[in-house]
Amino acid sequence: MAKILIVEDEEEIAMLERDYLEIEGFQADILSDGDQGERAALTGEYDLILLDLMLPGRSGYEVCRRIRDQIDVPILMVTARTESVDKIRGLGLGADDYISKPFDPAELVARVKAHLSRYQRLTGGRGEEDGAIQIGDLRILPQSWKVLKGEQEIKMPNREFALLKFLAENPNIVFSKERLFEAIWGYDYMGDSATVTVHVGRIRDKIEDDPAHPKIIETVWGAGYRLNRP
Ligand code: CA
């Protein structure tokens, strides 16, 4: 099920948009402020952003540019009647489409669907895979053995992936290096717990925002490692 973020400060319009999207089977979250909207959009959790132009906090112009600079997600800009769509389009904000208020809800839903399917064709679809694990902007897909940070796929050899998957499927539990070694490499494998340290280091370099100060896989001194998942 596609997840849509509605950034809109007029409650009535936001609710109308959400109602129509939910009828069509989409999941929709509403935020009423530009700053919050931008932060939520950048988590990479959403498949499409419905963005109002005039917002408190940070304007839709600014939010659109900043999202576009960092991730590739369809953005539909919703503009007030007084703002000419052609004029706004001319600003080159990088939005995928523009719709002006008041809009016909059926038209809005049709455009949302069109952009979602276009985007899924382009990217091969993020797919709503069973058992997908989301940690901030990190997405682990256990069935297809893929890891995504935002929209970017992270290349990970099998043992690294298996270790990350094991920790992510058993979050907030501290595992000793020995226990992790057994779980991933097995008793018979040549090697020792130092192998785990090396692999955790490599995984952190790929998934942590600041590998020197890891927030996802934390070291618990004298005990082992713990993957933090809210
Ligand atoms: Ca507004």
In this structure, what token pair is assigned to residue 112?
A: 């949302």
- The confidence score (pLDDT) of residue 61 equals 87
* Separation CA 193–CA 179 (nearest Å): 9
- The confidence score (pLDDT) of residue 82 equals 67
Between the CA of 55 and the centroid of ligand 1 the distance, in Å, is 5
- The confidence score (pLDDT) of residue 20 equals 94
Q: What is the pLDDT along the chain (230 residues), one digit of tens a residue?
A: 789 999 999 999 999 999 999 998 899 999 999 999 999 999 988 999 999 998 988 889 899 999 988 888 899 999 886 667 767 766 677 888 888 888 888 899 999 998 988 877 666 555 556 678 999 889 998 877 889 998 889 988 888 999 999 999 999 999 999 999 988 988 777 778 899 999 999 999 999 999 999 999 999 999 999 999 98
Between the CA of 9 and the centroid of ligand 1 the distance, in Å, is 5
Between the CA of 53 and the centroid of ligand 1 the distance, in Å, is 6
Between the CA of 60 and the centroid of ligand 1 the distance, in Å, is 9
DSSP code string of 17-31: HHHHHHHTT-EEEEE
Between the CA of 33 and the centroid of ligand 1 the distance, in Å, is 9
- The order of strands in the sheet holding 97-100 is 27-31, 3-7, 48-52, 75-79, 97-100
Contacts of range 89-96, beta carbons closer than 8 Å, 24 or more positions apart = 91/61, 93/61, 93/64, 93/65, 93/68, 94/64, 94/65, 94/68, 95/51, 95/64, 95/68
- The confidence score (pLDDT) of residue 192 equals 81
Closest CA to 143 of 133, 156, 129: 129
Between the CA of 140 and the centroid of ligand 1 the distance, in Å, is 35
Between the CA of 57 and the centroid of ligand 1 the distance, in Å, is 11
CA distances from 55 to 11, 30, 123, 128, 129 (A): 12, 13, 30, 31, 34
Between the CA of 14 and the centroid of ligand 1 the distance, in Å, is 10
Between the CA of 99 and the centroid of ligand 1 the distance, in Å, is 13
* Separation CA 143–CA 158 (nearest Å): 13
Q: Are strands 146-149 and 152-154 parallel, antiparallel or unpaired?
A: antiparallel
- The confidence score (pLDDT) of residue 151 equals 83
Between the CA of 146 and the centroid of ligand 1 the distance, in Å, is 38
Q: Is the pTM of this model over 0.85?
A: no
